């Protein structure tokens, strides 16, 4: 498993059949709904819900987690044969910590205000269970390309939840989306007030609890998962 086998296919992804074969597509799309890391696998609820007060930080956080999950899966999968079993946790942690440090430094360099808003939560991607969970469950035993897809899929599945929660909280909490006013002034004049509860941390839990409720009512095979 050299680096070439993993990176060469990316360039000519349309021509080769096997790359986006049905199996690989499933690896990519499953985590978006049926096997969502947050609502079904119960991984990675930690930390990041705290950044869902507004859409923009949530979006950036989602991208950060996707990048870290995808590339740590790729790297771990590439070196999986040479990691001694007993210390694999430490090796995984170091790889993840390295990638998170890169993301953090990039954010600090190019988006300082967002980086301030995310505060410690970028660093907490290291202990995000999604990253470790996918490394243990998938990347340690699969080839680099599917691992990479799996990482992207899980990162996106996580991002979807984060952004949905953030949309609800920002829309109802401050009447805007991505910082732009959405709810018009005449609506406020008629007596509408922003829902202050949505700005408080517990609101994220309510929104996600209701999301799980809706998802499981629609998709009954998910009931009794946990």
Partner 1 sequence: MEHLLNLLIKSIFVENVIFAFFLGMCSFLAVSKKIKTAFGLGLAVIFVMILTTPLNYLILRYMLGEGALTWVHASLATVDLTFLAFILFISTIAGAVQLVEMVVEKFTPALYNSLGIFLPLITVNCSILGTSLFMQEREYNLVETAVFSVGSGIGFFLAIVLLAAIRERLRYSNIPQPLQGLGIAMIITGLMGLAFLSFSGIQL
SS3 category, 178: coil
Least gap, CB of 22 to partner 1 (angstroms): 29
Least gap, CB of 98 to partner 1 (angstroms): 7
Least gap, CB of 104 to partner 1 (angstroms): 7
Q: Encoding tokens for residue 187?
A: 């609506």
Cα–Cα distances (Å) from 121 to 49, 61, 114, in that order, read 10, 8, 11
Q: What span, in angstroms and rounded, lies between the C-alpha atoms of 164 and 136?
A: 27
SS3 category, 54: coil
Residue whose CB is less far from partner 1, 15 or 218: 218
Least gap, CB of 58 to partner 1 (angstroms): 13
Q: Encoding tokens for residue 151?
A: 């990482």
CB 157 within 8 A of CB 31: yes
Least gap, CB of 54 to partner 1 (angstroms): 16
Q: What span, in angstroms and rounded, lies between the C-alpha atoms of 72 and 100?
A: 10
The contact set with partner 1 (CB under 8 A) reads 39, 42-50, 89-90, 93-94, 97-98, 100-101, 104-105, 119-120, 123-124, 126-129, 132, 200-206, 208-210, 212-217, 220, 222-226
Q: Encoding tokens for residue 135?
A: 């490394």
Residue whose CB is less far from partner 1, 28 or 204: 204
Residue 192 contacts by C-beta under 8 Å, 6 or more apart in sequence? 183
Least gap, CB of 157 to partner 1 (angstroms): 15
CB 157 within 8 A of CB 32: yes
Residue burial 78-90, b: 16+ Cβ < 10 Å; e: rest: bebeebeeeeeee
């Amino acid at each position: 498993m050299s680096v070439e086998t993993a990176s060469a296919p990316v360039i000519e992804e349309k021509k080769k059949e096997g790359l986006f074969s049905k199996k690989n597509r499933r690896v990519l799309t499953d985590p978006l709904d049926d096997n969502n890391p947050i609502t079904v696998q119960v991984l990675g609820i930690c930390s990041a819900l705290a950044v869902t007060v507004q859409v923009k930080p949530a979006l950036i956080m989602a991208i950060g987690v996707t990048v870290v999950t995808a590339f740590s899966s790729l790297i771990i999968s590439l070196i999986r044969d040479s990691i001694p079993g007993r210390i694999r946790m430490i090796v995984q942690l170091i790889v993840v910590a390295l990638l998170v440090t890169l993301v953090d430094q990039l954010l600090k360099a190019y988006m300082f205000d967002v980086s301030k808003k995310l505060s410690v939560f970028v660093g907490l991607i290291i202990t995000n269970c999604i990253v470790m969970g996918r490394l243990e469950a998938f990347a340690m035993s699969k080839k680099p390309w599917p691992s990479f897809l799996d990482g992207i899929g899980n990162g996106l599945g996580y991002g979807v939840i984060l952004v949905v929660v953030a949309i609800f909280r920002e829309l109802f909490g401050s009447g805007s989306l991505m910082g732009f006013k959405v709810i018009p002034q005449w609506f406020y004049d008629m007596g509408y007030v922003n829902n202050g509860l949505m700005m408080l941390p517990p609101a994220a839990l309510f929104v996600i609890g209701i999301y799980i409720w809706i998802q499981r009512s629609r998709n009954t095979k998910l009931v009794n998962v946990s």
